[in-house]
Amino acid sequence: MTALDLDRLRQWVGRAEETTDTVSPRLAKGLSATLDRNDDAVSPAIHWCLAPAIAPESELGPDGHPTRGGFLPPVPLPRRMWAGGVVDFADRLRLGDAVTRRSRVADVQIKEGRSGTLCFVTVEHEYRTERGGALAERQDIVYREADSATQADGPPETRPAPTWRRTLSADAVMLFRYSALTFNGHRIHYDRAYCREVEHYPGLVVHGPLQATLLVEHAAAARGGQVPRQFAFRAVRPLFDGAEFSLNAVEESGGLSLWVADRQGRATMTATARW
């Protein structure tokens, strides 16, 4: 068990940074192509490709992420994953937009789960353009032990038959492209030997924000292209490359209930969309 000093980690609460980036035609077209579209339309979730953390090679950790202790607290647990978040859409980002992202560490908490000790870091982001506020996001990042369970086995959960369903597959090329678009060096997304030998995953892990992007677009498609006002999502279990998976949506009071399901029908990410 890795010792966690919560008082020290909570010294990062309130730490803030500001970054800028531009919604370029290349970025928009690259994300569209990665989502298997042949157009220049700006995805409503393109903000996850903007202003990524960029560190020199000498400042990367063994997992490919920048060494901890800068903006994010130095949590001494080796595995880092997206746990979920909430996005409020006020204005669509457009081609050519100069975007400023203001970020703040809002909370650090330690919890005990079925997979061992977990450390949750909550970050709040605000995205602004010259027109004003575009998006507000709460992002939850979870850190856990290296020997924690990698996935929860078992039968699929009982869910209603989806009204909208789309099947697709994520291969190594798709994951590599998304890693390149987001400048994400996390080796679980492209280094198969690292996945199996170090983190003991059976395959490459599909990015959390890529799954969330697919669900945002699935929700908008179900509403004739109308982007939701609010999108909340939670990672349930890892999704791996090399097998078909599905995007699913059903009506619920006030919006849609959505989920990504693996080939066994188990949810890997759940979400709600509100208009």
Fold of 6-274: Thiol Ester Dehydrase; Chain A (3.10.129)
Q: Are 241 and 175 a contacting pair, CB within 8 Å? A: yes
Q: What is the mean pLDDT of residues 55-75?
A: 89
Strand ranges of the sheet holding 244-252, from the earlier edge strand across to the other edge? 16-22, 98-113, 116-129, 132-144, 79-89, 230-235, 267-274, 255-261, 244-252, 164-169
Q: Write phi, then psi, for 230 (nearest 5 degrees).
A: -140, 140
The CA distance from 161 to 141, in Å, is 31
What is residue 271's predicted lDDT score, i.e. its pLDDT?
A: 98
Q: How far is CA 72 from CA 15, 18, 53, 67, 121, in A?
A: 8, 13, 11, 9, 8
Backbone angle region of 225, left / alpha / beta, with phi > 0 → left and psi within -120 to 50 → alpha: left
Instruction: Record the pTM.
Output: 0.93
Q: What is the mean pLDDT of residues 186-207?
A: 94
H or E segment to which residue 125 belongs = strand 116-129
Q: Are 204 and 175 a contacting pair, CB within 8 Å? A: yes
Instruction: Look over the chain and give the mean of its residue pLDDT values, rounded to a whole number.
Output: 93
Higher pLDDT, 155 or 181: 181
Q: Is the pLDDT of residue 92 over 90?
A: yes
What is residue 173's predicted lDDT score, i.e. its pLDDT?
A: 96
Q: Is the pLDDT of residue 153 over 70?
A: no
Q: What is the mean pLDDT of residues 99-126?
A: 93
User: What sign has the CA pseudo-torsion 248, 173, 80, 230?
Assistant: negative
pLDDT band, very low/low/confident/very high, at 2 (cuts 50, 70, 90) = low
Q: Is the pLDDT of residue 149 over 60?
A: no
Higher pLDDT, 31 or 243: 31
